[in-house]
Chains A and B, each alone.
Chain A
């Protein structure tokens, strides 16, 4: 029931939006075709504008991951986080989550496949994945798209949110499913 309801939301929301916007446009006497083209023109510029920011960020992330430095960090943190009740199995997901969206999905898939989606580890990994975002991608692309160079306190704020999301996930999954 729940699943089919959710499926229909994600299947219907975008088509309905695509019907609603031009309809409202026509009613409000907007030249919708010309408006669309004028807007779409900006899309190319936006994509090109974020490129240098993405290059900078992805080079650093790839070096960090492929060199084994990230694994070292995980190894270093494991004894510490284990004391706090965090299973070692989900630590790699927590570390990679803010860095790489595709990497995190691969990790989630691996964890669900290895430990089972309905295990404690599987439920915890699902919750962690759902309550956090690819912070570095969001910061890079959002600020990059408008040419902002000084992002002020944004990184600290976003990483704090990730850490709290992670900790609360561990606590709440242990409480509800533990």
Chain B
């Protein structure tokens, strides 16, 4: 699926550019994309190192296991694959809480920590495990209860009531997260390893 989408984006772009007689744009766009990737990846070094350091303290203090134990019922429901009280569960729940509160740049590093913990108990290191798929599905459907970026943009544009969209956002977020969860539950059976 990702192979096809990747191909379609590139192929349709090149065909469009040829059609419009703007073929030079393709070279320029690919270089820009590559450069942007470096900017993003290297921009992340500091913030990821920072949060990885903090999370290591939390881990050594046994905080991950503690969170995993406290929120065990929720964890068990969402990620049945992960052993009871495992660090991975603590990392997942911590990153989900950061997403929940809209803690901006803490979210990616915490989520990557959770992925790392899940990879440690993954049997085939090149294929996504069930819990990874569930985690990505839930996170990418947006868990934000407080869309702080959107609110900031509305304030900047002089909205009379910048927070009025919180209610509609929560309802729409709930629907999209529920969809992600349901699709994941159904589809994971059909996409087991080897396929």
Contact = CB atoms under 8 A, between A and B. Distances in A.
Given A108-B150, A126-B150, A131-B172, A60 B53 contact: no
A9 B137 contact: no
B52 A117 contact: no
Given A130-B173, A161-B176, A39 B54 contact: yes
A28 B172 contact: no
Interface residue tally on A, bucketed by range: 35 or more
Interface of chain A, main secondary structure: helix
Contacts of B29: 59, 62-63, 65-67
Contacts of B190: 153
Interface in B68-106: 101-104, 106
Interface in A27-59: 27-28, 30-32, 35-44, 46-48, 50-51, 54-59
Contacts of B57: 21-22, 25, 30, 32, 35-36, 39
Interface string B107-151: 011011001101100000111100011011101111010111111
Contacts, number: 359
Contacts of A9: 101, 146
Contacts of B109: 43
B16 A133 contact: no
A14 B105 CA distance: 10
Interface of B: 1-2, 5-6, 9-10, 12-17, 20, 22, 25-26, 28-30, 32-34, 36-38, 40-42, 44-46, 48-63, 101-104, 106, 108-109, 111-112, 115-116, 118-119, 125-128, 132-133, 135-137, 139-142, 144, 146-151, 153-169, 171-173, 175-177, 179-180, 183-184, 187-188, 190-191, 195
Given A10-B102, A24-B58, 14 more contacts: A38-B53, A39-B54, A126-B165, A130-B142, A146-B119, A146-B125, A148-B125, A150-B127, A154-B136, A158-B137, A160-B180, A161-B141, A165-B141, A172-B168
18 contacts: A6-B163, A36-B54, A43-B50, A51-B41, A58-B37, A66-B28, A108-B150, A117-B157, A142-B112, A145-B116, A146-B115, A146-B132, A147-B119, A148-B127, A152-B128, A152-B187, A156-B183, A172-B168
Interface of A: 2-3, 6, 9-10, 13-14, 17-18, 21-22, 24-25, 27-28, 30-32, 35-44, 46-48, 50-51, 54-69, 72-73, 105, 108-109, 112-113, 116-118, 122-123, 126-133, 135, 138-139, 141-143, 145-158, 160-162, 164-165, 168-169, 172-173, 176-177
